[in-house]
Structure 1
């Protein structure tokens, strides 16, 4: 059993028109690279934030690319991450995924801006 948490960023064509961008000029490639950077960071942060008992959960957290502009972390072999994250009637929550998301969120914006500049889309 695999438990997943993921990010998938997509924009419709009107978004590109509002920004005056043609998405065929590297926007999606830049966004894809930014998401790769962010999921790499998320994997490392989530492993550090995950509670340690046996270490199985930390070892099970890996990033995976499902497609363009998509990144995913999965915890193969540790579906109980959900109980740790949200708690149960007998155990308090330890929201390590939420902490990870809060730490990665500002990095995503920075990576997107950096990669758009690298692609020559932003100055």
Structure 2
């Protein structure tokens, strides 16, 4: 199971023997890959607990790990530059430019990744 955002959902009518079915299309929060599933409308679905946190970017190591400053002053150095090439290039070029940035880290189901950047206006 992957953490997904449901982008499409439709319900089919009850058949002769059983329950209405629900057809769902979801997009993986981290990879952007599309998943589809059909299940009885009476079944429960697991919902991922998704957390977003903004960190100030302090450094990018040679091996691609980010040094991120937490609000309490601690540093995190366990998250890599994102796999999305356009976001990764923007982060690197703006960092090389000396821009003060906040990176948004998305956490769900044991995965964590940078999904966005914004300028630090403080």
TM-score by length of 1: 0.25
Structure with the greater alpha carbon radius of gyration: 2
**Between Structure 1 and Structure 2, which shows a larger proportion of helix residues?**
1
**Between Structure 1 and Structure 2, which shows a larger proportion of strand residues?**
2
